[in-house]
Structure 1
Amino acid sequence: MGEQGLFIKWITVSDMSDDGLLIGAAVGSGIAAQTAEIGGADLLLAVNAGRMRNMGAPSIASMLPCHSATAMTDAFAAREILPRVSIPVLLGVNCWDAEADPGSVVERISEQGFAGAVNFPNAALMPRAMRQLLDRAGRGARCEIDMLARVQAAGHVALFYCGTKDHARAAAEAGIDMILLNFGWNAGGSIGHARRASIEEVGLVARDYAALIRRIHPRARILLEGGPVVSADDLGRVASIASLDGYVGGSTLDRMPYEESVTNRIASYRLAGSRQIRLTRQQEKILRWGAGHGLIGRSNPMIACLEHLEALSGTARSVAVALEKGTPLGPVLSALDRTGRDAPQIDAAGEPAAHVSRRLFGRDDAGGHEGGLLTCGETVVLRDVHRSLPSLQRRLARSLSNGALVTSRRRRRMRVTARILFVFERAADEPAIPADLHPELGAHLSGWVVRIPPLRQRIEDLPALMAAIAAKAGLADDALPPLSAGSMQRLRRHAWPGNEAELERVIGRLAARSSHHDVSVTDIDGLLDAGEVAGTGFERSSELEKRQIVEALWRNDFHRGRTAEALHISRKTLYNKMARLGLSD
């Protein structure tokens, strides 16, 4: 047994040091191996999944018959990794190979200088039906355990990828000293998998498996990999629930950091090469004017919008504003009319037509006339009037065009003194004036419509908007964690369907994070997803329960008995819940 074997054997069977968890990296190239060693990794796993990631394919491609796993791993592991690192390297062993033989595996490990072996590719990452087929063929988890037991008996290190409780029990009974609890392919990154289990669920399962293993084999060292654990914070949360001896990173240590690094570099070069927009004095004046009303941004669409708003602000005529959902209306109303932000508002879509009519035109009855907002001499904000009755729209159009209101009962003529600011919630690809607006009202507003560009059309204003929103919320300058160039680029590429309202949610989530760690692209993806979910309203309890059951079924290969056990309910209760939620089929 070489120095690598002695070293790794010592650190896995002795008490853990003050350095914390044992950290392993599953790699597929010399540069990934060297970088992992520099970063402080304790051991390396040379596996074909690492090579597939280096080729631009997802890790799951390592399970497909597109390459010979044995030939691929042997070639790069011995040629690229062993000569370039001094830390222990475990060779990925493919037990599905028809020519796989424990004796030849031990011989290859000894001759080439590997510290030991790891079962990869393995049955733990296969669906339950496929695992059963492999077991019947004698090439499943039992074969992998027997292979690693021979490796360990020869004085080398054996690391077993474990995916089920039965596998954990069998590995412990075989005396395997290092058992890696794998929770599936990593979530996150550009080609990562969807998150199926929560961090807390992973922690509880890991605690359960670890307790089982240590009852049978107290000296075993238990490591963790995969699933939703994609950051140090995630690992810390799991370790606070389950007692772990180490962590192995695959995509989290070679694919995702590489994506993040290259993204950041290219994004920073792009930002460095962008030229500052030269603004005229008039434009600078417009920007100051807009900022005074809370309209932030220096992009061309924003400058054009501000110029239009300033032109319309000088008129007493009624005008229309078209804007997307989530765009703040207050600053726009303030820009059009200093009193507009606090002006009385009527929601024609949410109020009964009779109520809208009375508020606008007043009431004329036997007791006399009660004045409405049209004759109050103030600014009035009228939302979505096209949702009201056509007769009301026609009367409003004629009153505004004639500058006079004729009362319904006494036929008294009254001067219209109000300025109406019509507001329509319209997507950028929709006409600013709704098609179902009464033609006479549409003709009155024609040419007097200002369109507020959505956030995605003025994305270069994003940093300034974020700073303004944070300041308005009373956050300190250092309250938000730093964003890398790649993270900011990810925000720039987001469609922002919820506009500033969605951006406020993201900033709120950023403020809840620690300000001591940079926010990664993967972190941003999670924040945006959370924001989009929040934008749809709170999830009903039945929907949440249904989703939890579906995810538990998925994790347990749709075996209802194991699903009920995982949910801590009886099988009968599970059946009743599934029937109630429409999941019986």
Structure 2
Amino acid sequence: MAKQYSRAEVLKRLKKTIAEGKPVIIAGAGTGISGKFAERGGADLIGVYNSGLYRMDGNGSLAGLMPYGNANQIVIDLANRVMPVVKETPMIAGICGTDPTREMRPYLKHLLELGFSGVMNFPTVGLIDGRFRRELEDTGMGYGKEIEALKLASELGFFTLGYAFNVEEAALVGEAKLDVLICHMGLTRGGSIGSKYAEEEMTLEGAAALINEMTKAAREKNPDVLIFAHGGPIALPEDTAYIYKNTEAVGFLGASSIERIPVEKPLAEAVKKFKDIPLK
């Protein structure tokens, strides 16, 4: 069963990793085997949230933003599948902080009882724009409500990570004194169901520039916030190398990059090799 850590213990572990010159890696786990082998590969944190379930069923991660299931219940269900095969790595729960059907305080306490060490905001309205986003904000289901849920989690002793998508949201993460700002560059490119937009519109250079702007905004409010990156054109290890070199990011959250893209081609090739063996 996964070991539980206090906020201070998680921070100590991560700062030790950074002091050794190594990046902090959060691995998304939509199945037990993803969590088990992410830990063996050296993941510093393992994240469990609803899009992992859809992703590892072969669907796009954005299914986690659609009304296909109860996001906050899926986290609990996945915890019961992933946590038993993780030994030492701190577990992070992705919560839907805007959920109007959940009283957040008892829900967060239940996540503590399950053994989670941290909380992050996924699914998030940050990936939504246009009229739909404006009307979510107008009707009390906006990004600010996610921040309030994360602030409550911090008060309860959780290590907290805030996804943000622009400079204004990054400032809110800093103001809330969350432990980590995850600069989200959009749906990850690559593989069978990766984002075409990320390949066509968002470059690594553009991502680095946005991360630097978001970092500045967050650190004006909280100089101690750690900066991680995720998504968009940041899909492969060499992509993260560019981001580390050109920003103040010290970590990376890999979901599709870790548990989907690396297994797609090898799995197909393994089946093909079996299929290519002739009968006598």
Residues 374-453 of structure 1: pairs in structure 2 closer than 5 A = none
- The structure number with the bigger radius of gyration is 1
Is 1:216–2:221 an aligned residue pair? Answer: yes
**Preserved CA contact (<8 Å) 1:4 1:87:** no
Match of 1:55 among 50, 54, 57: 57
Work out the CA distance in 2 between the residues paired with 1:16 and 1:199: 22
Deviations 1:244-292 (A, max 9, x none): 1200001111111120220232344456x379xxxxxxxxxxxxxxxxx
CA contact (8 A) 1:94 1:121 kept: yes
Equivalent residues in 2 for 1:172-321 (5 A)?
A: 172-194=174-196, 195=199, 196-270=201-275, 273=277
- Deviation track 1:95-142 (CA, whole Å, cap 9, x = no partner) reads 232222231233112211100211110011112433322222222111
| Letter of the 2:268 counterpart | T
| Residue 48 (structure 2) aligns with | 46
Structure 2's unaligned 5+ residue stretches are none
Report the secondary structure of 2:257's partner residue.
coil
Aligned to 1:428: none
Check conservation: 2:51, 2:63, Cα contact below 8 A.
Answer: yes
Distance in 2 between residues matched to 1:18 and 1:203, nearest whole Å = 23
Q: What displacement does 1:199 show?
A: 0.9
- Would you say the 8 A contact 1:13–1:221 is kept in 2? no
Q: Deviation at 1:65?
A: 0.7
Pairs within 5 Å for 1:46-85: 46-77=48-79, 79-85=80-86
Question: TM-score normalized by structure 1?
Answer: 0.45
* Length-normalised TM-score, structure 2: 0.91
2:103 maps to what in 1? 101
Residue of structure 2 equivalent to 1:538: none
Deviations 1:425-462 (CA, angstroms, capped at 9, x unpaired): xxxxxxxxxxxxxxxxxxxxxxxxxxxxxxxxxxxxxx
Deviation at 1:243, TM superposition (A): 1.1
Counterpart in the other structure of 1:120: 122
Q: CA RMSD in A?
A: 1.9
Q: Deviations over 1:339-375 (max 9, x none)?
A: xxxxxxxxxxxxxxxxxxxxxxxxxxxxxxxxxxxxx
What per-residue deviation string (whole Å, max 9, x for no partner) do you get for residues 547-570 of structure 1?
Answer: xxxxxxxxxxxxxxxxxxxxxxxx
The count of aligned residue pairs is 272
Q: Deviations over 1:278-335 (max 9, x none)?
A: xxxxxxxxxxxxxxxxxxxxxxxxxxxxxxxxxxxxxxxxxxxxxxxxxxxxxxxxxx
Percent of aligned positions with the same letter in both sequences? Answer: 25
Which is bigger in relative contact order (C-alpha 8 A, separation at least 6)?
2
Query: 1:205-262 CA distances to partner (integer Å, 9 max, x unpaired)?
Result: 1112112222321110111100011111111112221111200001111111120220
Q: Counterparts of 2:195 and 2:278 in 1: how far apart (Å)?
A: 34
- One-letter amino acid matched to 1:256: I
Whether the 8 Å CA contact 1:94–1:119 is kept in 2: the answer is: yes
Q: Which amino acid in the other structure matches residue 166 of structure 1?
A: E
Question: For residues 51 and 123 of structure 1, what CA distance do their matches in structure 2 show?
Answer: 19
Instruction: Give the distance between the partners of 1:266 and 1:3, measured in 2 at CA.
Output: 38
Distance 1:268 1:238 in 2: 37
1:193, 1:176 → 2: CA distance? 29
Runs of 4+ in 1 over 4 A off after TM superposition: 12-15
Q: Structure 1 106/67 Cα, relative in aligned 2: closer, same or farther at 3 Å?
A: closer
1:429 is matched with: none
Q: Distance in 1 between matches of 2:269 and 2:39?
A: 23
Distance 2:219 2:248 in 1: 11
Q: Is contact 2:244-2:250 (8 Å) kept?
A: no
Superposition deviation, residue 162 in structure 1: 0.6
